[in-house]
Amino acid sequence: MKKKIKTRRVYNEEERCYEYVEEETGKYVFDETDKMAIAREYRESGRPSSEFVSKYHLSSAVVLYGWLDKYLNQKESVSLEPETDNATDMAKKTKQQLEEDLKAAKAENRRLKEALELEKLRSRAFDTMIDVAEESFNIPIRKKAGTKQ
């Protein structure tokens, strides 16, 4: 994260010529690694998005939600494995194999819960985006229930 600098052309009356002056805009520029780190920190911390908006000087929470969608959701897409007949396999496995399977199932459950939380967050971000668009442009975007097509 580095501060954004703007170059401006200013007339110098003493020397009677134009010169270029660099000024800080008060905004920040983030590279890809910064964006990924901030998105990961937000997801793992469980703190509200408003804290991250003020901490990292973001323009709004929508920017943070966009980073979450771009950097975290694409890499952690959920895919369900096909089910197999486990009843016959269970009888043949030893206790140690069953414990390993239980450990793997718990890890998969934890991964799926995290993916579900990300999807809930993404859904909430889209709802917020639609609400803001409806208020800003004063047009209905969501379809009303019970209307005919």
Instruction: List, in order, residues 6 or more apart from 59 with CB less than 8 Å away.
Output: 53
pLDDT for 29-42, tens place per residue?
A: 888 888 888 888 88
pLDDT for 46-94, tens place per residue?
A: 888 888 888 888 888 898 888 888 877 665 544 455 555 555 566 677 8
Question: For residue 80, what are the domain limits?
Answer: 21-137
Q: Say if 112 falls within a structural domain.
A: yes
Q: Say if 11 falls within a structural domain.
A: no
pTM of the model: 0.41
Q: Say if 82 falls within a structural domain.
A: yes
Q: Say if 91 falls within a structural domain.
A: yes
CA-based radius of gyration for the chain: 25
Q: Say if 65 falls within a structural domain.
A: yes
Q: How far apart are CA 69 and CA 11, in angstroms?
A: 45
pLDDT for 87-129, tens place per residue?
A: 556 667 788 888 888 999 999 999 999 999 989 999 999 999 9
54 contacts 28 by C-beta, under 8 angstroms: no
Structural domain count of the chain = 1
Geometric angle at alpha carbon 106, from 100 and 110, rounded to 5°: 145
Is 22 strand, coil or helix? Answer: strand
33 closest CA partner among 24, 41, 25: 41
